[in-house]
């Protein structure tokens, strides 16, 4: 099964709707709660990053019997130092983003922790694509 | 501890989803930073937060939280209340600070998440 969603830049009123919708779908499919939690925490963090740090983007989710593959792609500013960004507590979140409840610098570490496979393609001035895989063993 | 007991202790008002009397709260975690909340499993846990917006609800949804105490007399708007109902999350509005709420619940036997 394939699902796509659009993410809107800076729209914190609606941010998280795609992750919410994926959560409902995974529940309906009878995926184990622990795997649902891992998938939606990772997806939500990536969705929020696209809203907060980039200019919105798209989400593609593929679910089959053995795995969930989630791709969050944006045409944002890219991440200049990915190793630094992966560190707990590292954040460039703006004042507005902090007001919304983000900027702990825990999003990317949370994504890493909750996924079985993580690939981040990022290029300054071009954008960031985060590919997250959860195996449903 | 039941949700209603927590509401009583923090002199709070229950809004959003109705309190589920069968839900037993044993632990608490206090944060205004949503990614901090998503680091942990929130089983049988109440979130205490000064953040009062849609993102508090979305984060609670992803974390499988059932109850959130909103401190500092912050008022959820209509959209947030609607989300809380839809997501079956009970909100307890309290006039107390997050620190005071935490102290009261700690004293009453609620355990820190870690
Ligand atoms: N899609 C993105 N586009 C551009 N920069 C990004 C993107 N995602 C993350 N970053 C950069 O990496 C940093 C760390 O991201 P991370 O998600 O770990 O923390 P945060 O978003 O700042 O705070 P938190 O996720 O804890 O609310 C961000 O502050 C930002 O500088
Ligand atoms: Mg983030």
Residues of B in contact with A16 (CB under 8 A): 54-55, 58-59, 61-62
pLDDT at A137 over 90: no
Which atom of ligand 1 is found nearest the CA of A57? 1
What pTM value is reported for the model?
0.97
Q: Which protein residues are within 6 Å of ligand 1, measured from CB?
A: A 45, 49-50, 52-54, 74, 76-77, 79, 85, 90-93, 102-108, 128; B 35
Contact: A102, B41; criterion CB under 8 Å: no
Q: SS3 of B42, please?
A: coil
Instruction: Nearest by CB to A45, from B32, B35, B64: name it.
Output: B35
Which DSSP letter does residue A102 get? -
Distance (Å) of CA A44 to CA A19, A32, B68, B88: 5, 18, 19, 19
Which DSSP letter does residue B18 get? P
Residues of B in contact with A12 (CB under 8 A): 53-55
CATH T-level topology, domain A2-135: Heat Shock Protein 90 (3.30.565)
Residue-wise pLDDT tens digits, A79-125:
999 999 999 999 999 999 999 999 999 999 999 999 999 999 999 99
- A54 alpha carbon to ligand 2 midpoint, in Å? 11
Cα dihedral sign, B64-A67-A58-A86? positive
Domains of chain B, by residue range, sit at 3-112
Q: In CATH, what number does B3-112 get?
A: 3.40.1390.20
What ipTM was predicted for this assembly? 0.95
Q: SS3 of A7, please?
A: strand
Residue-wise pLDDT tens digits, B93-106:
999 999 999 999 99
Quickly list DSSP for A17-83.
HHHHHHHHHHHHTT--HHHHHHHHHHHHHHHHHHHHHSS-EEEEEEE-SSEEEEEEEE-S---S-HH
Domains of chain A, by residue range, sit at 2-135
Q: SS3 of A113, please?
A: helix
* Residue B15, H or E segment: strand B13-16
Q: How would you classify the pairing of strands A57-63 and A67-74?
A: antiparallel
Residue with tokens 């939280």: B65
Residue-wise pLDDT tens digits, A10-47:
999 999 999 999 999 999 999 999 999 999 999 999 99
């Amino acid at each position: 099964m394939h699902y796509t969603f659009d993410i809107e830049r800076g729209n914190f009123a609606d941010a998280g709707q795609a992750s919410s919708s994926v959560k409902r779908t995974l529940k309906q499919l009878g995926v184990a709660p622990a795997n649902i939690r891992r998938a939606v925490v990772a997806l939500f963090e990536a969705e929020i990053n696209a809203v907060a740090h980039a200019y919105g983007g798209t989400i593609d989710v593929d679910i089959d019997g053995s795995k969930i593959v989630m791709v969050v792609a944006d045409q944002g500013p890219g991440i200049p130092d990915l190793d630094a960004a992966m560190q707990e507590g590292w954040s460039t979140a703006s004042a507005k983003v902090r007001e919304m409840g983000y900027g702990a610098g825990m999003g990317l570490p949370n994504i890493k922790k909750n996924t079985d496979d993580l690939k981040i393609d990022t290029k300054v001035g071009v954008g960031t694509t985060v590919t997250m895989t959860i195996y449903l063993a | 501890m039941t949700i209603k007991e927590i509401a009583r202790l923090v002199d709070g008002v229950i809004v959003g989803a109705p309190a589920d009397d069968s839900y037993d709260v044993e632990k608490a975690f206090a944060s205004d930073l949503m990614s901090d909340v998503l680091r942990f499993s929130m089983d049988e846990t109440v979130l205490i937060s000064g953040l009062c917006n849609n993102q508090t609800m979305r984060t609670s949804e992803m974390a499988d939280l059932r109850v959130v105490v909103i401190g500092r007399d912050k008022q959820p708007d209509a959209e947030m209340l609607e989300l809380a109902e839809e997501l079956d999350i009970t909100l307890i509005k309290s006039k107390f600070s997050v620190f005071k709420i935490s102290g009261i619940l700690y004293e009453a036997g609620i355990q820190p998440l870690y």
